[in-house]
A and B are shown apart, each in its own frame.
Chain A
């Protein structure tokens, strides 16, 4: 059976009912997607309009679909852990230890790498080029490669549920436990290759966004006229480019240890496991800012638009973002104060960690002052923003506590830490992305999301969050370590039961999100966005139609100040019809991106299962795809002016039908100039 490496029939999950049902759900999920596509007869559309697309808006939408699917999967894991811990006093509960360990590992891995990262790339792809008045990202094809490599990584995590097992080493994969000696089998390898392959995609995404922002801005869009979301993307891209290599190196070395018997992180033979931990967090801390800065960007846009007021302290927000970006490389050791550094080193990193709270505090005040005396419209994106502001401050305070090494010695690896980082990452990152999702959904699809269900989702999420995670602070103070499969201390159980109830409320929030999507699609005719500017917006993404034309802007906008679109509406030059249209050069669709993604998946699978011929074959396919693509000088086409004119004429016809200003009916509407549809 050599040709299958270490893959045998025993790798299928028939050893346990729970594992088998997880596998069944995964397989059925995949089949039902295929069935739905077949039912709508949409294979052609999916394959030729989406799989091969290099349009940043479609790529953005696909990223977000991936993120939402993975959010569901990550939440199922969380719910299983919460219910296990609620009942596992003096008993094994329903999950055996090995299985529980897989679940916290996959939950963390999925949420960080395959929910948050794709969500972030998706929102940025969808919006950033439009915000800077560009027709696309700098490298549309590379963008597709990034998407499909991320998808390949996610597919590896998903398939680990069906073939073999996932890692039990947590989302951090610390050696020596994650080494071959203590964890043989394929679990850690699934983790490594999923992370490595998607990591390559993320690095390319970072390069792509940075070049786009620096090179592709519309005339007049100087750096200090860029919307704040774009600014945060700029800093996040820099962080991606400089931080992800450390993760790549750490994971590659772990893979070498496990596959070729090297001794980077082994217990003996000259291994040095602290080196892994340093490399991992050298990426890991910047990573939390990679995730949260764009969310800060979303909040900045949302808070200004729904306060109908210019963003307060634009410059200070930009500078704070830069400061956070810089400082984020100077704090990584706070993740392992307890692992043997001297008091002096610990105090340095403790101090830096406290300092990084300062620019974040600046931002909070800027957002508050933007709302101050604003005419606030309480739409779901703003609700998420307010929920974030209140909740995030609590998480920040517990973070400043943990930054003090003596306190961290007490709290390290307790559920206090779990409470702290969920307290940052759910309101900070997830609420930010959900706010962005509801804010920009009309831009992607041309109709608004249902606001009633959005509001319900918000209330379930925020209440559920508090009920699920505040008890974890208490449990941490009671000394409960993280990652516990069962326990003997009766005093913990009531808190864990409350936390499980909180997870149930979050489940209702998830359901509300699903219902919202369903109801909105069903009733889309009633919530059409005909102007492309449903919220009376301020930045250039609202100047395009909803959904935007393939080229975004028929004529590149001329920017004269910050809040460019708002300014154009003020000056009465919004919605102007140009005298004539020009040909537009566009990138051609290509399957090379999807092929590279598929081969990347096959390569990862082969490396996990030691199927060497398949590894070589898939590498060869990737190499061939790159060479063929790189030798092709005919990767663009010209969309003739007549076609552009046809699209734009339809848009202006639609504008003429639109109500004057979509926000006119809102309380507090400040009488901004209404879009003047041309005849």
Chain B
């Protein structure tokens, strides 16, 4: 291949990554609309307890605070992983991705115990409109976090196997967008679901 062709191929690659980043932003916008609909539904249904438990009975501020701390922290650790990526430090990237994974997994574990505790107490999603809306909103976020965890694992594998190549770095940046996006959604959940429910 002539050197001119190589050149044009590689500028093409950067264009490709820009396209992918832009497409990913659009996906996030679309996903944000999904969450907006879920939030709206929650707000419409939060009073529909149908004689069952109301927010005060089922939420725990401590656990919600712990979940928030874990997730915010994991956003920070992902940030450090991104900085290490720019520094080209492969083992640090691996390390901070692993830490991010653990924090995220801790979040999911807490959420799992919250959900299973509620279901055991008879406050499952089939109890009332309020609980359906709660489980679906928070569960959808949790599902996203779980997908993000799998994605982190895949990226750990890719960094391990391929190194910090351009495509891998570009994927890591999008994973970062995703992870921070979920953080923002969680902050909204905390302030729309847990805080008003407990105060």
Q: Footprint of B on A, CB under 8 Å?
A: 138-139, 203, 206-208, 210-211, 214-216, 241-242, 244-246, 248-250, 252-253, 256-257, 260-264, 266, 268-272, 275, 279, 282, 582-583, 585, 623, 627, 630-631, 633, 638
From B34, B41, B154, contact of A630 by CB (8 A): B154
B133, A264: Cβ atoms under 8 Å?
A: yes
B23, A138: Cβ atoms under 8 Å?
A: yes
Question: Closest Cβ of chain B: how far from A284's Cβ, in Å?
Answer: 14
List, in ascending order, chain B residues with CB within 8 A of A272's CB. 44-45, 48, 129
Q: For the complex, is B165 an interface residue (Cβ under 8 Å from A)? A: yes
- 11 pairs from A and B in contact (CB 8 Å cutoff): A207-B30, A241-B29, A246-B37, A256-B125, A260-B126, A263-B48, A263-B50, A272-B129, A279-B41, A582-B8, A638-B5
Q: For the complex, is B171 an interface residue (Cβ under 8 Å from A)? A: yes
List the A residue with the shortest CB-CB distance to B37. Answer: A249
Q: For the complex, is B9 an interface residue (Cβ under 8 Å from A)? A: yes
B154, A627: Cβ atoms under 8 Å?
A: yes
A264, B132: Cβ atoms under 8 Å?
A: yes
B12, A244: Cβ atoms under 8 Å?
A: no
Q: For the complex, is B57 an interface residue (Cβ under 8 Å from A)? A: no
B residues 27-68 with Cβ under 8 Å of A? Answer: 27, 29-31, 33-34, 36-38, 41, 44-45, 48-50
A269, B129: Cβ atoms under 8 Å?
A: yes
B37, A270: Cβ atoms under 8 Å?
A: no
A275, B33: Cβ atoms under 8 Å?
A: no
From A208, A244, A261, A631, contact of B126 by CB (8 A): A261
List, in ascending order, chain B residues with CB within 8 A of A244's CB. 30
From A249, A585, A627, A631, contact of B38 by CB (8 A): A249
A633, B167: Cβ atoms under 8 Å?
A: yes
Q: For the complex, is B158 an interface residue (Cβ under 8 Å from A)? A: yes
Q: For the complex, is B162 an interface residue (Cβ under 8 Å from A)? A: yes
What is the total number of residues of chain B having a CB less than 8 Å from a CB of chain A?
Answer: 47
List, in ascending order, chain B residues with CB within 8 A of A275's CB. 41, 44-45
A271, B48: Cβ atoms under 8 Å?
A: yes
Whole-angstrom distance between the alpha carbons of A262 and B158 in the complex?
A: 40
From A139, A257, A270, A633, contact of B45 by CB (8 A): A270
Question: Closest Cβ of chain A: how far from B164's Cβ, in Å?
Answer: 13
Given the known A-B contacts A249-B37, A256-B136, A272-B48, are A583 and B5 also in contact in the complex, defined by CB atoms under 8 Å?
yes
List the B residue with the shortest CB-CB distance to A137. Answer: B19
List the B residue with the shortest CB-CB distance to A262. Answer: B132
Q: Footprint of A on B, CB under 8 Å?
A: 1, 4-5, 8-9, 12, 15, 18-20, 22-23, 26-27, 29-31, 33-34, 36-38, 41, 44-45, 48-50, 125-133, 135-136, 150, 154, 157-158, 162, 165, 167, 171
From B22, B131, B157, contact of A214 by CB (8 A): B22
A270, B129: Cβ atoms under 8 Å?
A: yes
List, in ascending order, chain B residues with CB within 8 A of A245's CB. 30-31, 33-34, 36-37
Question: Closest Cβ of chain A: how far from B173's Cβ, in Å?
Answer: 14
List the B residue with the shortest CB-CB distance to A279. Answer: B37
B41, A249: Cβ atoms under 8 Å?
A: yes
A271, B162: Cβ atoms under 8 Å?
A: no
List, in ascending order, chain A residues with CB within 8 A of B150's CB. 623, 627
B125, A203: Cβ atoms under 8 Å?
A: no
A215, B1: Cβ atoms under 8 Å?
A: no
From B9, B31, B37, B136, contact of A262 by CB (8 A): B136
Whole-angstrom distance between the alpha carbons of A102 and B131 in the complex?
A: 33
List the A residue with the shortest CB-CB distance to B139. Answer: A256
List the A residue with the shortest CB-CB distance to B48. Answer: A270
B15, A211: Cβ atoms under 8 Å?
A: no
List the A residue with the shortest CB-CB distance to B2. Answer: A583
Whole-angstrom distance between the alpha carbons of A261 and B124 in the complex?
A: 10
From B41, B48, B49, B154, contact of A253 by CB (8 A): B41
A242, B19: Cβ atoms under 8 Å?
A: no
- Chain A CB count within 10 A is highest, among B27, B30, B128, B167, for B30
Whole-angstrom distance between the alpha carbons of A241 and B157 in the complex?
A: 32
A631, B154: Cβ atoms under 8 Å?
A: yes
List the B residue with the shortest CB-CB distance to A203. Answer: B30
**5 cross-chain pairs, A with B, having the tightest CB-CB distances, nearest first:** A270-B129, A270-B48, A262-B132, A245-B33, A270-B50
Whole-angstrom distance between the alpha carbons of A266 and B35 in the complex?
A: 22
Question: Closest Cβ of chain B: how far from A339's Cβ, in Å?
Answer: 15
A211, B26: Cβ atoms under 8 Å?
A: yes
B34, A248: Cβ atoms under 8 Å?
A: yes
List, in ascending order, chain B residues with CB within 8 A of A203's CB. 30
List, in ascending order, chain A residues with CB within 8 A of B26's CB. 207, 210-211, 241
List, in ascending order, chain B residues with CB within 8 A of A582's CB. 4-5, 8
Given the known A-B contacts A253-B136, A585-B9, A630-B154, are A207 and B48 also in contact in the complex, defined by CB atoms under 8 Å?
no
From A207, A270, A633, contact of B162 by CB (8 A): A633
B126, A262: Cβ atoms under 8 Å?
A: yes
B27, A207: Cβ atoms under 8 Å?
A: yes
A270, B130: Cβ atoms under 8 Å?
A: yes
Whole-angstrom distance between the alpha carbons of A498 and B67 in the complex?
A: 66
Whole-angstrom distance between the alpha carbons of A241 and B24 in the complex?
A: 12
A215, B125: Cβ atoms under 8 Å?
A: no
B50, A269: Cβ atoms under 8 Å?
A: yes
Whole-angstrom distance between the alpha carbons of A26 and B36 in the complex?
A: 40
B30, A208: Cβ atoms under 8 Å?
A: no
List, in ascending order, chain A residues with CB within 8 A of B9's CB. 583, 585, 638
13 new A-B contacts at CB < 8 Å, known A263-B129, A270-B129: A208-B23, A242-B33, A245-B30, A253-B136, A257-B132, A262-B135, A263-B132, A266-B129, A270-B128, A272-B45, A275-B45, A582-B8, A633-B167
List, in ascending order, chain B residues with CB within 8 A of A631's CB. 154, 157-158
Whole-angstrom distance between the alpha carbons of A583 and B12 in the complex?
A: 13
Whole-angstrom distance between the alpha carbons of A263 and B45 in the complex?
A: 10
B19, A215: Cβ atoms under 8 Å?
A: yes
List, in ascending order, chain B residues with CB within 8 A of A263's CB. 48, 50, 126-129, 131-132
A270, B49: Cβ atoms under 8 Å?
A: yes
List the B residue with the shortest CB-CB distance to A631. Answer: B158
B154, A216: Cβ atoms under 8 Å?
A: no
A630, B128: Cβ atoms under 8 Å?
A: no
- Chain A CB count within 10 A is highest, among B48, B49, B130, B157, for B48
- Chain B CB count within 10 A is highest, among A248, A266, A268, A583, for A583
B132, A216: Cβ atoms under 8 Å?
A: no
List, in ascending order, chain B residues with CB within 8 A of A268's CB. 50
Question: Closest Cβ of chain B: how far from A375's Cβ, in Å?
Answer: 41
List, in ascending order, chain B residues with CB within 8 A of A253's CB. 41, 132, 136
Whole-angstrom distance between the alpha carbons of A279 and B41 in the complex?
A: 9
